[in-house]
Structure 1
């Protein structure tokens, strides 16, 4: 393309910047007369001026608003002239420089340009002056060539100021004058104006060095304040009030909850989803309800049934009703119904106990992902830090594109989380325990600092007290002091210890769980998804048995009996030539595992609602493993016939009678992982302490739930004191206010099946 242009409009390949780069790279002098000058214009062309002997910039002084009003309101036909003193001219330019750099991008590009500008002023290569008379309004660029070059020089004049916009971005109209007469006239006129102008060179350097972010004397404290401002400036621009059309009677407007709502709204608008993850007891349900009240569109809440029960004062329907926020509510188990009804009417999806949906190889997750597609997603969970990297990614993928993430510096979440998982490859959790834990901690820190900090609202009680203590004190509110947990020990006698150790070895080392992983034994290999699901099922069934053993001897022996029955039925059918398994229903087992319903697991596995395979389609070792597993189960069952007592139960009952805290009149809550353990414990406690204990599990009816609420919920309308001890599975661990009790006993070590 020809570069010898006459008209320059900043259209494709015809920008003033491009023309300057051709003309001035070998120029001796470059003189500029403009009404407006911004340093951004210098950044754009200074590389071409490196060989130029002298650069002079003459600028007009912009009017302030008051002067502008005087000019536009003047009735005189002739243009008024305002003349600034030299001091006033310098002050105006100082203000302009400060304002420009305040609005400029904090980048290496900008800093490099400003530093070059200052260096050239100090070298006297560049001078900048201001013409104090207000009637100057020109855009003239004069290029003087070296002696012996093509001619004297060139003049470009038109609409462009020396700014990035004038040089390239805006549509402009400029003309290049090549006649020597035009050049001489423009050069002489420039010299005349230059003589009467105010030198700004030193003032420019002083302003940059003392009043802008390029100040070399900025203190660490000032830098810290700048960092805080940049980090929080979006929040500072937000309204500092949570709007609620109605607040329940006696509701406390707590600053920490309002701040959570504001932060969550910001995250939701920025990333399409947010984790509401304050620790238990800080009001995640109320925070989420208030958040829903700030959002446009219709909201759907998906939660466990107990958290949708209107008889539960802390349930979602009651919270939405209390704040008069509109919303629909569906149980976690009715995702299919939600899809059938359609989700187009919803803009916001709130998912309580979101940690239930962290396994992608699960039909339930697939349905939830379909419900969330294109919606704002609010995940309510207190346990995101406890999840594996893949679990966390699965939850994030409900609202973020894993391959095109909008999270800062993490465009490919799949690659990020894959890298974390690879660090654990080859590490044995038991043999390399120290290194394994180190990597886990390192991974958790990276996930927290590089991903979750952008997506999550999470505070501990200590943080609330430290940062919102004044508000808590003003409202006469304080958190209960939590004592350190105390271990309660029980001892096995020699016989029990031998039986326990032998059982662990058999189940952990020799038992193959072949009954629960049949697809792994097919002669024709299955796809990777099915293979992973089968391996997971084997691991989960192994964990289930071991956790039952840890929970109570009673629950374990019942589970062993069910396993034996299942194996016998399966082997009998195999010998008839049939193997039944269900790719569809196998995922339902994951849900039953979380609900502590191993009886339902066995019924589902043993049901005929499954795909039929011929026995001949399986490898020979399948039957061998099934028979070996059955023999191990019967051996374990026989071992436990030698055990005539339950030392864990005896130790617990002993503590109830001897421990000063436990034997007081205070209400107790006992959590266990097993429904059978809960029922077993309740029966034995009530034998020792006449009808003082009530049992609640996933199978308990409405009447039992109402009794629990009236006896243990501090907000219950009708309070009762019939029961002192509540023994429950984890179904009551979240979303139900049990604050009439201040003592919690974990009979088992809490666990997570996924």
Structure 2
């Protein structure tokens, strides 16, 4: 009578391992191959010499995704006769992507790393061959193990278990062993017919390369390559913004390259997070960049702009609105309490000199915050000095468009590490991934991580290092204007200024400034 392996009374994994210990070759057919699952049998196969007649042949069926399976079932074309070369190449590429994706899931462990390295080495030493069956979807599970036993040379196991930890030991399955000589011979012919099929492709070398290019590789990765990969991922949003948005033609011709890049990055932030802080230092053209940003959302999304600025900047903004054909209304900061409650809906709110709104308890602050929330407006903040006394200055400006309960997707890790997450939540009663959580942190690293998602800020040194050319005759760096003229960066020369201070005079302001008292 056959034995039933259901992973409840009898587990399949020990039966396979016990049989492999006395076997010299094996043929496995599975519907799904978990690369990490190979560690349950790899040490036993490692003892084999490899090559024909002394290796494990692994046949993997190509399973369609549920959506693809439903599409095929409902297709009006009916049954297809087979596959063609183009379909095979597509399936082969798809399977390679699935294997690569497997290695990105879960946290790497030393045991997984060692097992994956053994699998790659066994493939290279021809102890393991892996083929992909593509003629039709194959969901069969078969384990044939051959041993030097004249009475029972082949043991077969047929059932539902894939070559995974769950299938071999953890989840309920139904498998039976096959000992009958005739039945085993028929199963062997069934396996060989599919192994030799025209549309059964050997993917052994590709699989070894996938492992050797992953975190489980044996060759050390140069630190510089790791640095480049980190920089690549950290700059993903910036690169996406540069590729995604186009500037109006008149502004494309006016802006410098560093300004164009800033506008497109800011547009990505504004679209994805509904707000952005342009914090370039004084003199780099924040007003023009904000105008270009508002024009992008006007042209691409048909959104009109409300400009809020100090009274002395109203004439300048009137000039920019007229010159660059921006559909906008300008409201002085001093009049927001009286005008905003009755003002119609503007979907973009641009606030110049936003550092004036550090006090979240002020009437002007509340008027602007309520208008943005009620109208679901996107918010553009401009300030060369967004941070003055504390990090709460930044938090107050972000609160204009970021609700306190919103999940920001990041956490103040340094503060949580210092205090402990449970103690932090108990003491402050707020979510660890919200803006109030960051406002409890004094660690600059936490705020840098947060503002990376909302702020675009470059210094003159950054612009000079990345966007300027050097005039060798004058020894100064410059930007080229649209008319071909050069705009030179000023060369700063430090000068020492002396002054008298009498520490004995309590009325001396300089003495009081530098006093230790």
Please report the TM-score for the alignment, with normalisation by the length of structure 1.
0.46
Q: Which residue number corresponds to residue 264 of structure 1?
A: 266
Q: Which residue number corresponds to residue 75 of structure 2?
A: none
- CA distance in structure 1 between the aligned counterparts of 2:486 and 2:29, rounded to whole angstroms: 68
Query: In structure 2, do the counterparts of structure 1 residues 490 and 143 end up closer, same or farther at CA, with 3 Å as the change threshold?
Result: closer
SS of aligned partner of 1:140: coil
Q: Which residue number corresponds to residue 118 of structure 2?
A: 119
Q: Which residue number corresponds to residue 156 of structure 1?
A: 160
Q: Which residue number corresponds to residue 323 of structure 2?
A: 322
- The question of 1:28 aligning with 2:32 is answered no
- CA distance in structure 2 between the aligned counterparts of 1:361 and 1:218, rounded to whole angstroms: 52
- CA distance in structure 2 between the aligned counterparts of 1:229 and 1:393, rounded to whole angstroms: 28
CA contact (8 A) 2:277 2:381 kept: yes
SS of aligned partner of 1:500: coil
- The question of 1:298 aligning with 2:298 is answered no
Q: Which residue number corresponds to residue 230 of structure 1?
A: 233
CA deviation vs aligned residue, 1:500-528 (integer Å, no higher than 9, x gap): 359x99xxxxxxxxxxxxxxxxxxxxxxx
Query: In structure 2, do the counterparts of structure 1 residues 416 and 259 end up closer, same or farther at CA, with 3 Å as the change threshold?
Result: same
Q: Which residue number corresponds to residue 440 of structure 2?
A: 418
Cα shift at 1:209: 5.3
CA contact (8 A) 1:263 1:457 kept: yes
- CA distance in structure 2 between the aligned counterparts of 1:286 and 1:408, rounded to whole angstroms: 31
CA contact (8 A) 1:101 1:213 kept: no
- CA distance in structure 1 between the aligned counterparts of 2:96 and 2:42, rounded to whole angstroms: 29
SS of aligned partner of 1:300: strand
Cα shift at 1:264: 0.7
- CA distance in structure 2 between the aligned counterparts of 1:236 and 1:266, rounded to whole angstroms: 9
- CA distance in structure 2 between the aligned counterparts of 1:327 and 1:465, rounded to whole angstroms: 33
SS of aligned partner of 1:472: strand
Query: In structure 2, do the counterparts of structure 1 residues 242 and 412 end up closer, same or farther at CA, with 3 Å as the change threshold?
Result: closer
SS of aligned partner of 2:380: strand
- The question of 1:409 aligning with 2:411 is answered yes
CA deviation vs aligned residue, 1:279-337 (integer Å, no higher than 9, x gap): 1111101101101111232221111111112xxxxx12221221112112111112223
Q: Which residue number corresponds to residue 453 of structure 1?
A: 452
CA contact (8 A) 2:281 2:458 kept: yes
Superposed, 1:473-488 pairs within 5 Å as 473=480, 475-484=484-493
Query: In structure 2, do the counterparts of structure 1 residues 239 and 284 end up closer, same or farther at CA, with 3 Å as the change threshold?
Result: closer
Unaligned runs of 5+ in 2: 18-25, 46-55, 64-78, 148-154, 168-172, 413-432, 470-477, 513-517
Superposed, 1:86-485 pairs within 5 Å as 99-100=97-98, 106=104, 109=107, 113=112, 116-120=115-119, 122=121, 127-130=128-131, 135=135, 137-142=137-142, 153-156=157-160, 184=184, 187-193=187-193, 196=196, 203-204=205-206, 206-208=208-210, 210-211=212-213, 214-215=216-217, 216-238=219-241, 240=243, 243-245=246-248, 247=250, 252-295=254-297, 296=301, 297-309=303-315, 315-342=316-343, 345-373=345-373, 374-410=376-412, 411-420=433-442, 443=443, 445-446=444-445, 449-470=448-469, 472-473=479-480, 475-484=484-493
- CA distance in structure 2 between the aligned counterparts of 1:269 and 1:95, rounded to whole angstroms: 34
CA contact (8 A) 1:25 1:51 kept: no
CA contact (8 A) 1:94 1:204 kept: no
Query: In structure 2, do the counterparts of structure 1 residues 102 and 477 end up closer, same or farther at CA, with 3 Å as the change threshold?
Result: farther
SS of aligned partner of 1:350: strand
SS of aligned partner of 1:328: strand
Superposed, 1:623-702 pairs within 5 Å as none
Q: Which residue number corresponds to residue 500 of structure 1?
A: 507
CA deviation vs aligned residue, 1:188-243 (integer Å, no higher than 9, x gap): 34543487489968625641355556543433343333333323344444454853
- CA distance in structure 1 between the aligned counterparts of 2:117 and 2:400, rounded to whole angstroms: 51
CA contact (8 A) 1:127 1:201 kept: no
- CA distance in structure 2 between the aligned counterparts of 1:465 and 1:200, rounded to whole angstroms: 54
Q: Over aligned residue pairs, what C-alpha RMSD do you find?
A: 5.1
CA deviation vs aligned residue, 1:234-261 (integer Å, no higher than 9, x gap): 444445485344527x963310110010
Cα shift at 1:155: 1.8
Q: Which residue number corresponds to residue 421 of structure 2?
A: none
SS of aligned partner of 1:116: helix
- CA distance in structure 1 between the aligned counterparts of 2:351 and 2:10, rounded to whole angstroms: 61
- CA distance in structure 1 between the aligned counterparts of 2:43 and 2:335, rounded to whole angstroms: 75
CA contact (8 A) 1:298 1:326 kept: yes
CA contact (8 A) 2:117 2:216 kept: no
CA deviation vs aligned residue, 1:711-746 (integer Å, no higher than 9, x gap): xxxxxxxxxxxxxxxxxxxxxxxxxxxxxxxxxxxx
- CA distance in structure 2 between the aligned counterparts of 1:255 and 1:386, rounded to whole angstroms: 29
Query: In structure 2, do the counterparts of structure 1 residues 102 and 233 end up closer, same or farther at CA, with 3 Å as the change threshold?
Result: farther
- CA distance in structure 2 between the aligned counterparts of 1:106 and 1:239, rounded to whole angstroms: 28
Superposed, 1:547-696 pairs within 5 Å as none
Unaligned runs of 5+ in 1: 6-17, 63-76, 84-88, 168-174, 310-314, 421-442, 506-754
CA deviation vs aligned residue, 1:618-659 (integer Å, no higher than 9, x gap): xxxxxxxxxxxxxxxxxxxxxxxxxxxxxxxxxxxxxxxxxx
Query: Larger RCO: Structure 1 or Structure 2 (Cα < 8 Å, ≥ 6 residues apart)?
Result: 2
Cα shift at 1:452: 2.0
Which structure has the highest helix share of the two? 1
CA contact (8 A) 2:96 2:207 kept: no
- CA distance in structure 2 between the aligned counterparts of 1:298 and 1:80, rounded to whole angstroms: 56
Cα shift at 1:176: 5.5
